[in-house]
Each structure stands twice: as structure tokens, then as C-alpha cells.
Structure 1
Amino acid sequence: MFIPSLLAYWQAILYAATCCVAVEANSTLLAGGTIIAFNEGENALQVIRDGSLLVTGDRIAGIYESGKTPSDIPEHTVVNVTNKIITPGFIDTHRHGWQTSMKTLASNTTLWEYFGRFSEFASVGVFSAEDVYLSQLASVYEAVNAGVTTVLDHAHHTWSNETSNAGLRASIDSGARVFWAYAFHNVTNFTVPEQIANFRDIAQKSTFKDTPTSLGIAYDYFGSDPEEQVKDIVDLAMELNVSVVTTHTLQGPFGSKNTASKGLAILLTIPVSNSPIHLEQLGLLASSIPIVFSHASFLTYQELQLLRKTNQYISITPESEMHYGHTHPHSHLAMDQAALGVDTHFTFSADILTQARIWLQKVRYLIFTGPLELWRVPSNNPMSVNQAFLLATRNGGLALHRPDLGVITEGAKADLLVWDGTSPSMLGWNDPVAAVILHASVGDIEHVLVDGKFVKKDGKLTNTDYPAIRDRFLESAKRIQGVFLERARPIPEPGEHFGGEDVGGELMEVMLVDAVRGDGSGYGTEFLDGSKP
């Protein structure tokens, strides 16, 4: 039996391709596994046990129940996936790939400290084009290895023509599906008009053509930059019909407008607004371009209604938002217009599975708290593993206006994961969705396919050059970390406000919790080689 098709459009394309070039098609049959598919008619996940999945070219050509694989399918390679689980690849709707080189330097940092020490503005002049290339490539390989097949990369390594092009080239070379969003920002020695010229050159050359990488725009100053500059960015996005526009938005005590702030003697601009209301006024929300609002931690009810009306999405990055302290007070009420992201992966987990698991339990905690405060006992669970799975897969595709991503259905892109169902952590599973969301680890992912091609097979990345890339990256990262380790940790001034007194709330030193008996004896130091005391 065939699963209902994704869209008639994609089905027509697929049938035309298979009818005309079936003999030449590159087809793979994943045979005998449990498939977590998506049934569009019921708008729900559908599990097929002992099923088979046919990949032809870059798309899913057929999904078959046990014993019902047709005998007349195109010439194909068979991959035995008995006792394994097949899922769509995970979709990360917010990441900064170029920051990989700083891994473990900011394990205890806050958002206030991040802006002054590790942000795009604090990194100007530290990274060469080669550094950006290696750091970005290492990031995407890390994502692919963990089952992330699609990344929306907020690429704010755009400090020059060279560093910009390097990040794009790394994204293309990774073989993953990367929505590479060029960041326009006011940095020293590389003006926004120069960035626009660079962007046009990149778009015209189209080196990403016929690859899974596409060109988007990242911009964080819709509410503060001069009207002319904002208009230039909006016009550019519309003219080139970019694959996505993405922006950070916070608000709340972090401020209602963007502001210039001075930290560590570096003048930087903190994006804290970029409300959906701003983008609606500019005509972007109603355009055909997908708009992704990263974090949206203090999204208002009115803004959520606006997103629903225009079908635009937020990217919830659970671990990041807890790590940096801006949290997510209302995000659990906006999940029908939300997907998941990772953010600054150099500070914590880089995989979407972890984000889905953290978010599932955080939402349960948030909703359970209400009855418990009334001395009542919850009698039902507010969020299911199915919902966490959809946030990590299908909702990411919807956020990017790509219903052919993040689902297993006929005609969808063949971005797939194969999980070892007999691993120690998954052994004995019954519900495959629960097995993945609550019991699996990224180490259980045996195969990863993007566009029907294996980018990870039998537990290893397929790029034979990876060992050499790894060695080059380590050499680059050592130098970059040395630069950041020379910088002392900033100390807030008495009465200092986040972003300035007229913008955000006053900084406050919070209590320290301790896992060791005594007065402040357990917090300890960071074990960083070469750091300043």
C-alpha cells in the first residue's frame, strides 16, 4: 500500500522522472524496517512495521507495507534494515556554524557576557577565511553525524567577501541541506552596502546551484537601523526571492529595541526586538518568503496571532534559552507555529534529538506546575512524544515553507535516518517514536541520507577526506581559542543595564547553588588551558 502523497506537485515531478528515466535512476530500497511515516490525510504520524522504503534520485519513490513491495520497481540497491527504525532527518532552524572553534570556552556564560566576548562583533578580525571554512564545515559534519539533515544557518561570519564566501563553500561541501542565511550587520571595515554587493555577487555566481544548499538572509535590525538600510535589505530579499529570512528576537527585560552597547572595549549592537509586527509593517510576513524568528522568548499573544495569520514560525532553542538565561515563558503556547533549533552549538549540545527531549520535559514541567501550586495532582500528560518528534522534523520543514522536508511520505525529499533498534539503549522498544525521543542516543544513528545520498553510513561519515579536515580544524581551533582565552571575563558596572539604561533591565548577580558542602566551594574554575585567571 502506498502512503498518501505529500503534494500533487511533488508527485507529478516524481512520476515524470521515474517514467522517463527509470532505467538510469539511482534507486535504493531500505528493506524490512519500521518506518515512522506521515499520513497527510490524518495529519499524523503513521508507523509501518516490517516495511520498505524506495528512494529514487533525491526523493522517496514508494513506501510499502510488509510483503507488498512491487516486483517492477527500477533497478536498485537493497539495504537490509531489519530491526532498525527509519525516520525523517532532523531539522535545525537556528544555528551559528562558524563558532565551532570556540567549543567549551563558554560553558558558564550568560547572554550579557556572550555579546561582549564571543559574538559576531567580538570575533571580528579573529577568524581568517580558512578558519571560517573549517569551523563551518566541522559544525555541519557534527550536525549530520547526529542526524540533522537540514540546517538554517544564521551566518554572521560575514566580515568580508572572503569570510562570507568561505562559510558558504563549507556549507556546500558538507553535502547537508543548508539554508545559508547571509547576515547583514554594521561591522567595522565592511559596511552594509559592501555586504549587499557581496551578496549580489554570491547570488549571481550561484555556486550552490544543483546542491542542497540555498541562499537566505539574516538580519537583526528591522526595528532600529535607518529606514533606508532596512528597506534595502527587504527589497533585496524580495527581488531575489531568497529561500528564507531569519532574525533574532527577545524583548521582555532584555529590551524593546536594538541598541549599541560597549563591552570589553568592543562596540556591538544587541538585537533584542525585531518583533513580527515590524516585519509585517515592512510587507515581509505576507510575502512568499519563509520568516523564522529565533527564540521569540517574550512573544506576545498578538504577535503569535500574527504568525498564525501569515503562517510564519519561531525557532525554539531550549538548551540555549536556558543556558543564556532568557528562557521561554510562553513558547509552549506557540508550538503550532514553532520548530526547534540549536543556536550557539559551541556552548552545549549540537543535536536536535537533545533539544526535542529537553523541550518535551520542560513543557511537561511548566504545565504540571499550575495544578501542583493549587495542591492538585495532574491526571494526564500535556505533551506527547509524537509532538516532540514533529517539532524536530515536520515543523522544521513547515517553518521553511518546505512540506517536502521532515516527513516520510511519497514525493518528499529523501533526507532519512536509520536507527539501530538493537542497541543497548533501544533494545526492547515497542513504540518507535518513544524509542527515538526518549531512549535513543545520536550514537544509535547508523545511516544518514540527504537527497538520497549517504552522508553517513554504517556509523561513519562517508567523506573520506574527513580525517584531514579534522586535523586542519584542530590546528585552526587551537589558534582561535588562544585569542579568546587571552580575554578577561567582563565585570558589570554597578547599576549597569542590559544594552543600556534606556533599553533593558538592570543586571543582577544571582545566587550560586552548590553540590559540595561549604560556602561556595563547589562552583570551581573552568579547566581551560591557557586562560587568564
Structure 2
Amino acid sequence: MHPTVHPTDTPREALLDLLRRTAADPERRILFTGATVLTADPELGTLAIGDLLVRGSTIAAVGPDLRARGAAENAIVIDVAGAVLTPGFVDTHRHAWQAQLRRIMPDVDDLGGYVTATLAGYAPVYRPEDMYVGTRLAALGAIDTGITTMLDFSHNSRSAAHSDAAVRALVDSGIRGVHASMGPHFGAWDHQWPADLARLRAAYAGDLITFRLAALATAEIAGPGLAYGPELARRAAESGVGVSVDAVFGAASSRAVLDWERQGLLGPELTLIHATGLSADAWRAIGASGTTVALAPSSDAQIGLESAVPAVDEALSVGVRPGLSIDVEVALAGDMFTQMRALHTIQRMRAVNGAYGSAREPVRIGTADVLDFATRQGARTNGLGAVTGSLTPGKQADLLVITAEEINNLPLNDAVGTVVLGADARNVDTVLIGGQVRKWAGRLLDLDLPALRGQAAASRDHILRTAAAVRRPGQVQEGHSPR
């Protein structure tokens, strides 16, 4: 038991020191007080001024003035007046191993260009250490921007060592990581997947690390071995994990969805990623089965995947509230603020455009919708709806303190609008994951940034040199020479 610490006479450095010294105490109490609290819990709603109590790794209580009910006793009290408390964001799909190649192809025009350059060109030369560096960099970047849960769609699992490195990177970053492994599209590999999933779960599953099986929707890109169907569904069921299916778009995926319906392979444990350009009948099957959907708003629009329109209206029309995802940092932004804004803008543009010139009233989503998609619905999509995604007592303490008095946000008028339309990474002041502080006073903790810079650069340089040598022996590809 530790003494109550009052924020008025305790510098933030001293608070952080106390939080660190008590980190291993399963009964440690932290009281955040005086914030606007966006619980993302439909029953609890929004508190204009409220408190939140954390005990150990979980949320113990949320409400107005918890101090009046004794919550401050034996607690570390943190005054967050003028800030907004929210659940941590949940990323439902990111290819984290690629992070050392961030923005290497910012203007890629189509899926074929991405596949050729990244999956056929760079992926085959990755070593396990490159998997570690890329995945850890992606996870730390996610935490810095307020993402507390990330599904790593790790589709470069060339060997058990590659998968081990990716999972260790999630562990070492401190993120709530969902490792979804899949065999690679191209190049030599050990064909240990999907059988290796059982070993990975036995070795690494824990409070913060869970697993899913990853697959593609159809055999068009990489052959039938990676395509979801009865065999992979059986493997996932035997391992007790859900399935995340990428590259779900167009007529071929629509036919696949209907095949899965006939085979009894749809359901809440299945997530379909992108879901652009699907038929009305495919959407009917998705909605009727409770299958979850992970949208990738900036990916669909910027790269131009199938219809290039994020399928939020289609999902909502059949009762599916989707999660949101980042997808590929080789071409896209890596933060959830961008995804929320992109989806909010595109859907409202589409709604008004569709009604333009008619008497119809546009059906628009709002900022509360996209915040829900980025938090509670994302957790449900990742199979973690009972664990995280809202500031509900009993759930894990995955939460953000977002400052609302910086120049880009002041004065605080509408908390949801501020988070969705005003905030960015600079406003993510504090991040807790499972009750542990991962970012404090705007700074990631336990990070040797110069060392990480060197590791990322060295890994990138190795990948570019080796991939170029494979393509054109003895030469480094023009425009990709290591800096």
C-alpha cells in the first residue's frame, strides 16, 4: 500500500517515478480526475467532468467525483482537468513487418504495384531480425499515436524464427498485440504455417498477446494454400483462434463469401478486411452471420482498391459496425486519427453526392460513429470485445489522456469532435496498456530512440541492397540506394 499522492504538489516526474516503482503491484490504484470522459460504453456514455479509477491492470470505476466515494484513498491521483480520457484506439489490420520501409512508395497507384514491389520484391529477403525491427517500430509508432491494440497481419512468416521475431517485437513494445500469421505470397519458405500456430500460442500467449490465423480471400494472388476455406477454418477451430481474411474485394471475393456461407464458415470469429466492391448478396450473408469487418479507409481510397470507396455504408446497411485499420505504412499514414477523418469525410461526401439533385436526405455518419469504430468496434473485430475497447469497469485499463488545451484544440467545446477532428499524436499525452504507463507527458517510455533509428536504417539498407541484388545482380536499384 502506498500513500495518496496529490497532483497539486507533485511534479509529473515524481508521479512517473511513483508509477514506475509501483508497476508490479497488482493492487496499485491510479485515479484520473477532472477530465471529460468518453467511455465508448453505450450505458455509461460521456461524462462532462469525471474520474476513472484503475486497480492493477483493470478499470475499477468510472463516474463523477469518485473522490467523494473514497477512490483517492491509497491511490496515485493524477489531475487531468482540461483533457479528454478515451479508450485506446484499436487497429484491426496492419502489416507491421514493413515499418522500416515507411512511405517508400507514397504514390503507389494500385494493388499490383504494391504486391510487386513489397511482397514479391522486398519480403523474400527479410531475415528474422528484420521482422523484429519492423514489427517493433510499427508497434511503438502505434502506441505513440494512441493505438493500444494492434492486429499484426504478419504475412511474411517464412520460418518459425521469422514468426518468433515478430511476436517478440510485440511483447517487447508493450502493446496489446494480436499476432495473425500467414505464409508469404512469394519466395522460399519453410511451409511451417499454419501448423506452427499452436507452438506460437503455447510459447507466447499471455495477458497482452493473443493470436489469430491470417488468410487471403481467394487464390488469385498467391495460390490456394493461403486462401480461406474449410481447411484453414478447421485449423483455426482446432487452435481456438479467430481468422482474419485480407484482400476481400470484388466479384471473386463476393463468390467466396457465398461459398463460405454455404459451407458454414461465416460468423463472429471471422473478420473480412477491406470488403470493397462486394455484391449485395455477399453483404446479406455477412450481416446475417454476424461476421465482422475491418475497413482500411485511407488504403482503399489512396491505393484504389477495387471501388476505392470504404464500405462503411454497405456494412451499416446489414447491421455490421466495422473496425478500422492502418494497412501498409509503405504508402500510408500510421495513425488512427487519419483513418477516422478519412472515413468521416469520404462517407459524408458520398452521402451528399448520392442525394445531390434529388429530394432525398443524405444519411451521414458522425464523429461519434467513427470514434466507436476506432475503439469498441475494433476490439470486437479483433475478438477482444470483452477485454478492451471501452472504459467499462472490469475491462483492461487501455486508455488515453488527450490534451485539449494545446493550440490546435483549445478551447474544448465538443470532446468527441476534438478527438476525431482536432487531435493528433502531439495531444496523446498519456497511454496506459493493461494499467502500465507506456507514454507519459507526450513521451514514449523505455525507448532508446537513437538505437532504434540505427536499427531501422540498418535493416532498411540490408533489405534494399539485397532485394536490388536479387533483381539485378551486382547493382543497387536506382532510386532505392541506401542513405
- TM-score range for the pair, normalised by the shorter chain length: 0.7 to 0.9
Structure 2 residue matching 1:184: 3-state secondary structure: coil
Q: Say if 2:78 is the partner of 1:79.
A: yes
Whether the 8 Å CA contact 1:320–1:342 is kept in 2: the answer is: yes
**Share of identical aligned residues, percent?**
24
Distance of 1:46 and 1:239 partners within structure 2: 38
The residue that corresponds to 1:342 in the other structure is 326
Structure 1 residue matching 2:405: 3-state secondary structure: coil
**Aligned pairs, how many?**
443
Shift of 1:351: 0.8
Distance of 1:451 and 1:345 partners within structure 2: 26
Structure 1 residue matching 2:124: 3-state secondary structure: coil
Shift of 1:240: 1.3
Amino acid at match of 1:240: S
Q: Structure 1: any 5+ residue segments left out of the alignment? A: 1-22, 257-271, 490-526
Distance of 2:327 and 2:52 partners within structure 1: 33
Q: Where do residues 60-459 of structure 1 align in structure 2 (5 Å cutoff)?
A: 60-66=59-65, 69-71=68-70, 75-109=74-108, 110-119=110-119, 121-185=120-184, 187-192=186-191, 194-204=192-202, 206-209=203-206, 211-220=207-216, 225=224, 230-242=229-241, 244-252=242-250, 256=252, 275-286=256-267, 290-326=269-305, 327-328=308-309, 330-335=311-316, 336-337=319-320, 338-374=322-358, 382-404=364-386, 405-459=388-442
TM-score, normalised via structure 2 length? 0.84
- Go from structure 1 to structure 2 and tell me whether the alpha carbon gap of 1:31 and 1:227 turns closer, same or farther (over 3 Å shift): closer
Whether the 8 Å CA contact 2:33–2:65 is kept in 1: the answer is: no
Structure 2 residue matching 1:314: 3-state secondary structure: strand
The residue that corresponds to 1:518 in the other structure is none
**Greater mean deviation of Cα atoms: 87-96 or 49-58:** 49-58
Shift of 1:207: 2.2
Shift of 1:35: 0.4
Shift of 1:407: 0.9
- Go from structure 1 to structure 2 and tell me whether the alpha carbon gap of 1:488 and 1:332 turns closer, same or farther (over 3 Å shift): farther
TM-score, normalised via structure 1 length? 0.77
Structure with bigger gyration radius: 1
- Go from structure 1 to structure 2 and tell me whether the alpha carbon gap of 1:385 and 1:466 turns closer, same or farther (over 3 Å shift): same
Distance of 1:435 and 1:167 partners within structure 2: 34
Shift of 1:187: 4.6
The residue that corresponds to 2:4 in the other structure is none
Which structure has more helix as a fraction of its residues? 2
Distance of 2:440 and 2:263 partners within structure 1: 45
Amino acid at match of 1:366: R
The residue that corresponds to 1:530 in the other structure is 481
CA-based RMSD of the aligned residues comes to 2.8
Shift of 1:443: 1.3
Whether the 8 Å CA contact 2:124–2:188 is kept in 1: the answer is: no
Distance of 1:379 and 1:332 partners within structure 2: 15
What do the CA deviations read for 1:271-299 (whole angstroms, capped 9, x no partner)? x668333433443324xx62111101012
The residue that corresponds to 1:472 in the other structure is 455
Shift of 1:68: 5.5
The residue that corresponds to 1:506 in the other structure is none
Shift of 1:386: 0.8
What do the CA deviations read for 1:172-211 (whole angstroms, capped 9, x no partner)? 111111111011356543354x22343332233x2232x3
The residue that corresponds to 1:461 in the other structure is 444
Shift of 1:33: 0.9
Distance of 2:286 and 2:362 partners within structure 1: 29
Structure 2 residue matching 1:122: 3-state secondary structure: helix
Amino acid at match of 2:76: T
What do the CA deviations read for 1:72-117 (whole angstroms, capped 9, x no partner)? 6663211111111100111111110001121222111121111111
**Greater mean deviation of Cα atoms: 327-336 or 99-108:** 327-336
Shift of 1:355: 0.4
Whether the 8 Å CA contact 1:168–1:180 is kept in 2: the answer is: yes
Whether the 8 Å CA contact 2:31–2:54 is kept in 1: the answer is: yes
Whether the 8 Å CA contact 1:52–1:69 is kept in 2: the answer is: no
**Greater mean deviation of Cα atoms: 229-238 or 49-58:** 229-238
Structure 2 residue matching 1:108: 3-state secondary structure: coil
Shift of 1:484: 5.2
Amino acid at match of 1:293: L
- Go from structure 1 to structure 2 and tell me whether the alpha carbon gap of 1:151 and 1:67 turns closer, same or farther (over 3 Å shift): closer
Distance of 1:485 and 1:185 partners within structure 2: 19
Q: Structure 2: any 5+ residue segments left out of the alignment? A: 1-24, 473-477
